C-alpha cells in the first residue's frame, strides 16, 4: 500500500467576488461575519461597496483607512485605494481577467453570481482536487449556497455550510456522502486534526463502498470518539448500517478465520498511531486507509463506542 497524506488547508484565505449592486450588498453581510475575507468588486462599484461594508460594521470595530496592498497573486486595486477599507479590492476590466489571480491566491472563494458563469470563469484554471480552492456560488437573493468545486478536500462543502448559516441560505450539497448523510472517507476526523493516509485507489474504493452500502470496517484504536456529530458539517443518528466498528485491527483477521464464508470488507478505515504489522499490511493490501489522530486526538478507544 502506498500511503500519501491528504492535504489539509491551513488558515483559510477567503475571497468574495461580487459583480452587481445586489451581490455587493449580500457580500457586505458576509464580510461583517468574516472581516478577514477579501471582497473583489468592479471598479465602478468601489464606493458603493465601501459604503455597504461600513454600514454593516459596528462603530466599535471601525477600521482605519489603508493603502490596501493586494496579496501575492491577487489583482491589484485601482481606484482611490487610500479611501477604501482594507478588505475591499476593486478591479478594472472584466471578472474573467481577475479570476486567475484570485484562484491562485485564496483557499476559498464565494462568488455571488450564477453557477454557469462561475464555471466558465474558473474552467481554464482548474488543476486537481488536492490543490484547487473550495468554491461556493451564491445567488443574488441569498437563497442558495452551492459548492461547485473541491467540496471535500478544498473545504467547499464546509464553506457552503458556513455561508448558509451566516446569510440564512440553503446549502445545496450534491456530493453523495453529504446528500445521504453518510461517512465521507476523505474527511474522517479532519475537524479533530486527524491526518488521512492512503493511496488514491484505496480512497476511491472506500468512498464508493460507503455510498454503495458495501461492508466497511471502521477500526478505531485511539482518538476521540466525538467525531461523528462534527463530521462534514455535522451528522446525527447512528453510523450507517454498512459501517462495522472494531477496536483493534487484528480482530478483522480473526473474524476471517472464524467466519471464512463471510463477505470480506470492501474497505478498512484504521484509526491508529501504531505501525502497521507487515503481515497485516500484506493481508489487507490496498483496502486499508489509515487515520492518525496525533496529539490533538490521542484518547484511548473505549469499548462502549466500538464492537468486535
Taking CA atoms, 145 is separated from 20, 105, 139, 150, 254, in Å, by: 17, 22, 7, 14, 47
Task: Determine, yes or no, domain membership for 4.
Answer: no
pLDDT at 253: 82
Task: Determine, yes or no, domain membership for 102.
Answer: yes
Task: Determine, yes or no, domain membership for 6.
Answer: no
233 and 205 fall within a common domain:
yes
pLDDT at 43: 95
The residue among 174, 201, 216 that closes a domain is 174
In the chain the beta strands, taken as DSSP E runs, fall at 14-18, 38-42, 88-91, 108-112, 134-138, 144-149, 170-171, 195-197, 216-220, 243-246, 267-271, 288-292
What confidence tens digit (pLDDT) does each residue in 169-216 have?
A: 999 988 877 777 788 888 888 888 899 998 888 888 999 999 999 999
Task: Determine, yes or no, domain membership for 108.
Answer: yes
158 and 20 fall within a common domain:
yes
Task: Determine, yes or no, domain membership for 180.
Answer: no
Provide the residue range defining the domain that includes 190. Answer: 185-305
129 and 191 fall within a common domain:
no
Number of folded domains that form the chain: 2
Q: Percentage of the chain surpassing pLDDT 70?
A: 80
203 and 148 fall within a common domain:
no
Task: Determine, yes or no, domain membership for 106.
Answer: yes
277 and 298 fall within a common domain:
yes
The residue among 150, 174, 198 that closes a domain is 174
Least confident segment among 79-93, 98-112, 148-162, 249-263? 249-263
pLDDT at 112: 98
What is the value of pTM for the model shown? 0.68
The whole-chain average pLDDT of the chain stands at: 82
CATH number at residue 168: 3.40.50.11220
**Residue 248 confidence class, pLDDT cut points 50, 70, 90:** very high
157 and 21 fall within a common domain:
yes
What confidence tens digit (pLDDT) does each residue in 69-108 have?
A: 545 555 554 445 557 888 899 999 999 999 999 999 999 9
- Stronger pLDDT, 279 or 43, i.e. the higher one: 43
Amino acid at each position: 500500500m502506498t500511503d500519501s497524506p491528504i492535504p489539509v488547508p491551513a488558515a483559510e484565505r477567503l475571497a468574495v467576488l461580487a459583480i452587481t449592486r445586489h451581490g455587493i450588498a449580500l457580500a457586505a453581510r458576509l464580510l461583517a461575519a468574516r472581516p478577514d475575507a477579501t471582497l473583489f468588486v468592479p471598479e465602478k462599484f468601489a464606493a458603493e461597496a465601501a459604503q455597504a461594508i461600513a454600514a454593516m460594521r459596528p462603530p466599535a470595530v471601525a477600521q482605519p483607512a489603508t493603502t490596501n496592498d493586494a496579496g501575492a497573486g491577487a489583482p491589484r486595486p485601482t481606484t482611490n485605494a487610500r479611501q477604501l477599507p482594507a478588505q475591499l479590492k476593486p478591479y478594472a476590466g472584466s471578472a474573467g481577467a481577475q479570476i486567475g489571480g484570485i484562484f491562485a491566491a485564496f483557499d476559498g472563494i464565494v462568488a455571488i453570481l450564477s453557477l454557469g458563469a462561475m464555471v466558465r470563469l474558473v474552467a481554464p484554471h482548474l488543476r486537481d482536487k488536492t490543490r484547487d480552492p473550495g468554491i461556493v456560488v451564491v445567488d443574488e437573493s441569498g437563497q442558495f449556497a452551492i459548492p461547485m468545486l473541491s467540496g471535500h478536500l478544498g473545504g467547499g462543502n464546509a464553506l457552503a455550510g458556513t455561508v448558509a448559516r451566516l446569510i440564512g441560505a440553503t446549502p445545496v450539497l450534491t456530493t453523495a456522502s453529504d446528500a445521504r448523510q453518510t461517512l465521507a472517507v476523505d474527511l474522517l476526523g479532519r475537524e479533530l486534526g486527524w491526518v488521512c493516509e492512503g493511496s488514491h485507489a484505496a480512497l476511491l474504493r472506500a468512498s464508493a463502498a460507503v455510498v454503495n452500502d458495501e461492508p466497511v470496517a471502521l477500526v478505531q484504536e485511539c482518538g476521540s470518539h466525538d467525531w461523528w456529530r462534527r463530521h462534514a458539517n455535522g451528522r446525527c443518528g447512528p453510523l450507517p448500517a454498512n459501517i462495522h466498528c472494531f477496536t483493534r485491527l487484528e480482530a478483522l483477521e480473526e473474524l476471517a478465520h472464524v467466519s471464512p464464508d463471510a463477505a470480506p470488507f470492501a474497505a478498512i478505515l484504521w484509526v491508529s498511531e501504531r505501525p502497521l504489522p507487515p503481515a497485516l499490511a500484506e493481508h489487507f493490501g490496498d483496502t486499508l486507509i489509515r487515520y492518525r489522530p496525533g496529539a490533538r486526538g490521542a484518547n484511548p478507544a473505549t469499548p462502549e463506542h466500538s464492537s468486535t
